């Protein structure tokens, strides 16, 4: 539960139809397993105490009274168990029968939640035996069980005594399919998790629809959703049940038990802090205090939750290969269409780009070529400029020329060594001192060349810096930091690689060969001389750290505002076996310091197309004071476990 991770589970029950004692024993087994696994919230199938398919046996007092006795037995069994349990049964109240989910914790039945929407179509005929929870109206109903009045109603929120964001509500099976499901009002009133005990039979096409419905509901309501379905032992007469369980979080499928797969517990960790962050950020999300809801508090010990969910090492990059190609193509379309508009609006005759033979300028050049193709203009209207100096290697110099030749753009090489040396003389810089002045003079000279060429050729300068570099401030102020339009400004470094690889696979031939060699070249600004073998000596990731780690830190900082201690925990889980704790912590500290100290560069960054949900544009997604202190964030790392 620490850091907002709530371990939830959908439990399977091998139902014996109408045998409540046997079902109670099965339910106890699931509770025992959930207790051992440290589950916070265990959801069991609809009417699991009796079986869903009892039909007119629900009229029998024998079945109803035995179900109530089984509930009492299950409740007592939970007295020393950790999970909150959602188990379901038929409950009589005022001469009516309700299909209820009983919420139980530590030997206490907290409340009974009646089903709201009763299906009476096709193979379903629930209205024959049951009444809807809406028939209770605003009545504060209760059922006396074991000497205690247990609240009965469908406007109930269960609230953890210490974790403000841990609030859950219950809707039952068909409620999810309705036009206005109870979950809408529950989430609006503050619930971050919805539990759904269900008995949905399996027919062709229903699996996909069920998956779509639960995932989209969790996305629309920005919540966690646990859907626990009845299994094959419930099957009787014309209906077969498949045990299709689903656990979703804000549109993402955390865990799924496919139909007819045998599983006792399907579990996952729902991150309620992430849900709260999304709701906080989305100002159109309606969250109101609704006094018509009864809030029932439960006190569950706050424990460390062992993470079992998969956390991607590259959160900006889709894990599915087909989706990755689709994403790469979409990003290229966004970038090139944005540039097409800027070129057309300004009437620019050329798009001027500094090419280094590295990743970022390669992507920017690919985008510029697409934009010219869209405009129906010659690719020769792209002017690519290579500006070798002290640190340029033969490999990158050659790749810059080959790339431009393959793409058919105008290419010019301007050696800036003499100009930079003259500038050293002007400012009294010793060329033997390889300091930041030595490096930045080269970067600013390159920018001056590009800017002046754009004036001369009637064009605009296309920026090449990416999102990761902006986050770290890895750019020379008023050097490569500046352009007229930065096409890569919201593309992180880890994603740049995949986009170029996508173009290489799609292109083939000589272009693919040069793109692959660019991909294999170490990331470097090449501002320091090559080593004795003529290879790159200045490797960016040796200086600022691995970009995959920094992109991971950046994603959870921008998207969810997580504390560094939580980001560290997520990184430990994601990069287990790749980086040790000390390495992750070291680079996380570097990220925090650079992210804060380099904001002044982002405050005046050029326009650039937004391609993802996390960007740093001061005009759009990220408004941060340039002089903010990072001490609170660094101090938070002292709390790591």
Tokens, residue 305: 């939750």
SS3 of the chain: helix, strand, coil, percent, to 5: 45, 20, 40
Give the strand pairing for 224-229 and 410-413: unpaired
Q: Rg for the chain (alpha carbons), in Å?
A: 31
- Using the structure block, give the residue that is written with the tokens 């539990």: 195
Q: Tell me which of 46, 273, 445, 526 is the catalytic residue.
A: 46
Q: Tell me which of 7, 115, 402, 601 is the catalytic residue.
A: 115
Tokens, residue 587: 């680079």
Going 614 to 616 to 621 to 622, the CA torsion angle's sign is positive
Asked if 173 is an active-site residue, the reply is yes
Asked if 115 is an active-site residue, the reply is yes
How far is Cα 282 from Cα 178, in angstroms, rounded to an integer? Answer: 25
Q: Torsion angle, CA of 339/342/343/346, rounded to 10 degrees? A: -170
Tokens, residue 175: 């409620």
Reading across the β-sheet that carries 294-298, which strands appear in turn?
252-257, 245-249, 224-229, 193-198, 167-170, 156-160, 294-298
Q: Torsion angle, CA of 186/188/192/197, rounded to 10 degrees? A: 30
Q: Tell me which of 173, 187, 228, 362 is the catalytic residue.
A: 173
Q: Which stretches of 94-187 are assigned E, i.e. beta strand? A: 96-105, 108-114, 141-145, 148-152, 156-160, 167-170
Residues paired with residue 353 on neighbouring β-strands, in sequence order: 384
Reduced to 3 states, what is the DSSP secondary structure of residue 99? strand
Going 287 to 289 to 295 to 299, the CA torsion angle's sign is positive
Asked if 601 is an active-site residue, the reply is no
Q: Is 38 left (phi over 0), alpha (psi -120 to 50) or beta?
A: left
Q: Is 561 left (phi over 0), alpha (psi -120 to 50) or beta?
A: left
Reduced to 3 states, what is the DSSP secondary structure of residue 8? strand
CB 146 within 8 A of CB 75: yes
Burial class (CB in 10 A: 0-12, 13-18, 19+), 219: middle
Tokens, residue 11: 């439990």
Longest CA span, the chain: 101
Catalytic residue list: 46, 115, 173
């Amino acid at each position: 539960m620490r850091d907002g991770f709530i371990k939830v589970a959908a439990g399977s029950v091998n139902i014996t139809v109408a045998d409540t004692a046997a079902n109670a024993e099965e339910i106890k087994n699931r509770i025992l397993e959930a207790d051992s696994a440290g589950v916070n919230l265990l959801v069991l199938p609809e009417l699991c105490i009796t079986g869903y398919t009892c039909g007119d046996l629900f009229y029998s007092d024998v079945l109803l009274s035995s179900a109530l006795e089984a509930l009492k037995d299950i409740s007592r069994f939970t007295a020393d168990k950790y999970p909150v349990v959602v188990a379901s049964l038929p409950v009589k109240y005022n001469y009516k029968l309700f299909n209820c989910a009983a919420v139980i914790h530590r030997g206490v039945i907290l409340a009974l939640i009646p089903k709201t929407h009763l299906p009476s179509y096709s193979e379903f005929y629930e209205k024959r035996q049951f009444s809807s929870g809406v028939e209770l109206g605003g009545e504060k109903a209760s059922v006396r069980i074991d000497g205690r009045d247990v609240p009965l109603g469908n406007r109930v929120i269960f609230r953890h005594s210490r974790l403000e964001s841990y609030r859950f509500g219950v809707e039952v099976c068909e409620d999810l399919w309705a036009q206005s499901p109870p979950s809408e009002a529950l989430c609006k009133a503050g619930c971050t998790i919805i539990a759904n005990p269900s008995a949905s039979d399996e027919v062709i096409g229903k699996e996909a629809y069920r998956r779509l419905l639960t995932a989209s509901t969790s996305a629309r309501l920005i919540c966690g959703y646990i859907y626990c379905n009845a299994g094959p032992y419930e099957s009787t007469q014309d209906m077969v049940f498949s045990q299709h369980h689903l656990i979703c979080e804000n549109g993402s499928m955390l865990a799924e038990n496919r139909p007819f797969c045998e599983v006792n517990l399907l579990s996952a960790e729902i991150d309620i802090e992430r849900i709260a962050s999304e709701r906080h950020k989305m100002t159109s999300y309606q969250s109101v205090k609704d006094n018509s809801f009864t809030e029932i508090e439960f006190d569950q010990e706050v424990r460390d939750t062992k993470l079992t969910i998969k956390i991607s090492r590259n959160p900006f990059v889709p894990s599915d290969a087909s989706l990755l190609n689709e994403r790469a193509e979409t990003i290229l379309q966004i970038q090139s269409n944005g540039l097409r508009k800027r070129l057309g609006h300004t009437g620019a005759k050329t798009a001027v780009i500094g090419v280094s033979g590295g990743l970022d300028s390669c992507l920017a050049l690919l985008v510029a070529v697409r934009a010219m193709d869209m405009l129906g203009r010659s690719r020769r209207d792209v002017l690519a400029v290579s500006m070798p100096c002290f640190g340029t290697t033969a490999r990158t110099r050659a790749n810059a020329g080959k790339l431009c030749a393959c793409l058919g753009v105008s290419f010019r090489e301007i050696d800036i060594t003499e100009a930079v040396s003259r500038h050293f003389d002007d400012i009294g810089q010793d060329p033997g001192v390889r300091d930041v002045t030595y490096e930045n003079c080269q970067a600013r000279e390159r920018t001056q060349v590009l800017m002046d060429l754009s004036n001369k050729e009637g064009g605009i300068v296309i920026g090449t810096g990416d999102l990761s570099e902006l986050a770290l401030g890895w750019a020379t102020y008023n050097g490569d930091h500046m352009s007229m339009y930065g096409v890569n400004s919201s593309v992180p470094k880890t994603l740049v690689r995949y986009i170029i690889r996508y173009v290489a696979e799609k292109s083939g031939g000589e272009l693919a060969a040069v793109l692959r060699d660019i991909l294999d070249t170490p990331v470097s600004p090449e501002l320091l001389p090559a080593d004795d073998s003529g290879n790159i000596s200045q490797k960016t990731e040796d200086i600022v750290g691995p970009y995959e780690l920094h992109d991971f830190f950046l994603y959870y900082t921008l998207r969810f505002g997580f504390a560094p201690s939580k980001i560290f925990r997520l990184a430990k889980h994601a990069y287990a076996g790749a980086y040790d704790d000390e390495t992750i912590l070291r680079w996380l500290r570097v990220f925090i310091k650079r992210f804060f100290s380099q904001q002044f560069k982002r405050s005046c960054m050029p326009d650039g197309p937004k391609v993802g949900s996390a960007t740093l544009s001061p005009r759009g997604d990220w408004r941060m004071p340039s002089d903010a202190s990072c001490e609170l964030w660094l101090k938070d790392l002292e709390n790591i476990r």
